[in-house]
Amino acid sequence: MENESTINFEDYKNEWLKEITEGNPSTVELGNRFSKKLIIQWLDFNEDSDDIILCDGGGDGGIDIAYLHRGDNKEENSNDGDTWYLVQSKYGSAFSGTETLLKEAQKVIETVDEKNKSLSSLAENLIERLQNFRKAASSKDKLVLVFATVNSLGENEKRVLEDVKAMGKARLGPLFDVDSVSIETIYQRIVENHPQLKKYDIAFTANLNPSGNDLLVGSVKLNNLYKFLKDYKKETGDLDLIYEKNVRRFLGSRKKVNAGIAQTINENPERFGLYNNGITIVVEDFQLIETDQYILNEPYIVNGCQTTKTIWETLYKKLESGGTGSNPEIEEWKKRLARGIVVVKVVKVGENGDELLKATTRYTNSQNAVGQKDFIALESSFKDWAKAMAHEYEIFLEIQRGGWESQKVLQRINPSAQTYQDWVNAFDLIKIYGAGWFNEPGIAFGKNAPFAPDGSIFKRITEDATFSIIDLYAAYLLHKLTQKIGFGRITDKQSRKQTKFLFINVLIELLKDCLTYSEMETTNIEVSRSVIKIFNNLDSEASTNLADATLNVIDDYLTQGNEDSIYTEPKFSQTGDLNSFLKWERLGKGSEHTPKLSNLIAFTKRDMRRSIGGQTAARAVISQAIKN
């Protein structure tokens, strides 16, 4: 009998597809909804990002969705490039196996290679951007064709993807790559919460010596570690699964790699073991098959995420670029690579070894000078905050996209499971908090990496000893407020399309003025407590007054012709690019950088002090609410 808490793939898939099929959408709309939701969850970005382009329909050239993942070289230890993802959505009957893959891949390659002349204006604009990207691309940049399907691809279909990759590289150059994603990919990513999901046995070639019954210590050649990662990706379809239990993985920065590690591989691969501290792999079990040949049951890399991701990225570019000729420089590098090793520990934690896993992850990372901040997902923080959100507020805190669908299935099949009034994604709350409390609206709108673990703003937030569930709940209330107002791509009001994080930022600035008027501190925790008092009821007088005042600032700022509009900002006049200006890291940081915005905020603070027509001044109403 199936356990009442077991969530099988069919149940999860049906729940996941409900919002795709509701409302009797057209075939084009079905494919559009399907691919958009799948790619957003897979790459974990904001659905209102202006870097996502919906092309699906007549003249799309085979590209349903295009998404530009922008690298972030300013983040510590990153040599991240830019990646264009070109998505082919194959929902339902649109997918018929290997023939579909070959046919549709050829169509996309023809389009990108400018051989397809029957394109819509939207697709033409995209192709122009792609051509400029190809001309300016470095070895760090990629152009990835992604097939989005309901079920994961079979072995025959995976082999065809290799043919597609070879065809694409021949036509478009070494930056071309191919990948696939499915609902099953997202389903597998919740394996930590649902241990009944499929488990994997992966071959591992390494020189290891036992130390007791549960520990192997030794070294693995760089080539063999790369093969292990390649086999894992082939078996699971998603390399990121191997980092699910790593303290650095929670929300993830999918493409960040370490510049120093990459330099060692490229210049001195034979010395890699001397320069690197090594990796730790935890497994449910391991078996020695023959000399230096092991099978690792359910492996996870818990220390060495940056090391192994960089090995993967660097060797993939070097070894999988194709070409039938011989390059003496590359051949010499391969000989040196064969001498390179990585120190490795393999730890058996058993099927239910959560405590040993936690201790292993914590102490192996601490030996590498990884600060306490890096244990945010492993220790008390996000898991405990998810429990606290459930207990205190009956809100499901989704710490990985796709988890809410799983929870809805669990609630349906298990009557004793906790039910929730609402849900919210943790990453979305971190960005809201960073935009408002830490005064980073531009970066919040433009980038994800700084808000992910190991990111600069994430560190600033979580290193604050006062940061707690109260702050997350306050951010949740502002998230609900922005939903009620209607920010994002689909809104009809132009001033609301790209200004959600700026709105949050201005609101917090106006709230701080009310706190000062009330003779209260403007610390982060006091701001959060005040947000909760005001916005627990989104229809209260205090909530309405503060939200309306903030909206007046945003609407005036985004209206051409106004004296203090964004279009009259000194910095804006240098570029004339609204999108870039709203992503500017100095946005909202005082009159030195955005004097027009500062003027509007100052005028609004003054207006909030006034009593009009016998009505209590807005600042007084808000002050009364936060003092209550």
Q: Please give the pLDDT value at position 583.
A: 93
- CA dist 21 → 34, 46, 92, 609 (Å): 9, 22, 11, 50
pLDDT computed for residue 206 by the predictor: 96
Given a cut of 60, whether residue 275 has pLDDT beyond it is yes
Is residue 391 situated within a structural domain?
no
Question: What was the pLDDT predicted at 255?
Answer: 44
From CA 177, how far away is CA 132, in angstroms rounded?
A: 18
Residue 351 vs residues 126, 157, 190, 192, 213: alpha-carbon distances, Å: 48, 32, 16, 11, 15
Among candidate residues 133, 153, 187, the one where a domain is terminated: 187
Tell whether 141 and 217 lie within a shared domain: no
- In sequence order, what DSSP letters do the residues of 1-65 get, joined into one string? ---TT---HHHHHHHHHHHHHTT---HHHHHHHHHHHHHHHHHT--TT-TTEEE--STT-TT-SE
Digit-coded pLDDT (tens) for 62-112? 898 898 887 765 544 444 678 899 998 888 766 677 888 898 899 999 999
Sheet order of strands, 207-210 included: 207-210, 215-221, 341-348, 279-283, 300-303
Per-residue model confidence as pLDDT tens digits over 557-614 = 999 999 999 999 999 988 788 989 999 999 999 999 999 999 999 999 999 999 877 7
User: Do residue 322 and residue 360 come from a single domain?
Assistant: yes
The predicted structure's pLDDT at residue 606:
96
Q: Which H or E element spans position 176?
A: strand 176-182
Q: Are strands 300-303 and 279-283 parallel, antiparallel or unpaired?
A: antiparallel
Query: How sure is the predictor about 45, in pLDDT bands with cuts at 50, 70 and 90?
Result: low
Q: Which residues pair with 107 in a beta bridge?
A: none
539 and 596 in one domain? Answer: yes
Indicate whether 251 and 174 sit together in one domain: no
Q: Containing H/E element for 513?
A: helix 500-517
Look up the domain containing 218 and give its range: 199-370
Residue 388's CB: how many other CB atoms inside 10 A? 18
| Residue spans of beta strands (DSSP E) within 498-610 | none
Q: Kindly compute the dihedral angle of the four CA atoms of residues 250, 255, 257, 262, in this order, to the nearest 10 degrees.
A: 150
Q: Strand order of the sheet with strand 83-90?
A: 52-54, 65-69, 83-90, 142-149, 176-182
130 domain-assigned: yes
Give the percent of the chain with pLDDT over 70.
Answer: 86
Number of domains comprising the chain: 3
Would the pLDDT of 4 be above 60? Answer: no
**Cβ atoms of residues 389 and 469 within 8 Å:** yes
Nearest-angstrom CA–CA distance, 234 and 224: 15
**Predicted confidence (pLDDT) per residue in 316-337, tens digit:** 888 876 666 677 888 899 999 9
- Domain identity same for 450 and 504: yes
Q: Please, what is the average pLDDT of the chain?
A: 84
Residue 355 binned pLDDT confidence (cut-offs 50, 70, 90): low
Dist CA 575 CA 586 (whole Å): 15
Report the b/e string of 126-151 with b at 16+ CB within 10 A. bbeebeebbeebeebbbbbbbbbbbe
Indicate whether 376 belongs to any domain.
Answer: no
Domain-embedded: residue 383? no
Provide the residue type at 349 as one letter: V
pLDDT winner (highest mean) among 142-146, 368-372, 404-408, 452-456 = 142-146
Query: Does residue 234 fall inside a structural domain?
Result: yes
For residue 183, give the nearest of 27, 41, 66 by alpha carbon. 41
User: Which residue, 132, 158, 187, sits at the end of a domain?
Assistant: 187
Confidence category of residue 361, pLDDT binned at 50, 70, 90: low
Do residues 157 and 252 share a domain? no
Is 529 among the domain residues? Answer: yes
Whether residues 213 and 288 fall in one domain: yes
Q: Per-residue pLDDT tens for 160-190? A: 998 999 999 999 998 999 999 999 888 877 6
Q: How confident is the model at residue 373 (pLDDT cuts 50, 70, 90)?
A: very low
CATH number reported for the structural domain that contains residue 51 in this entry: 3.40.1350
What is the predicted pLDDT for the residue at 80? Answer: 64
Residues 221 and 356 in one domain: yes
Q: Are residues 490 and 539 in the same domain?
A: yes
Q: Which of 332, 352, 370 finishes a domain?
A: 370
Contact status, residue 346 vs residue 215, Cβ threshold 8 Å: yes
Same domain, 501 and 538: yes
Highest mean pLDDT (candidates 5-14, 45-54, 503-512): 503-512
pLDDT interval class at 372 (50, 70, 90)? very low
Q: Please give the average per-residue pLDDT across 510-519, as a whole number.
A: 96
Give yes or no: residues 519 and 553 share one domain: yes
Q: What is the mean pLDDT of residues 31-38?
A: 86
373 vs 94, which has greater pLDDT?
A: 94
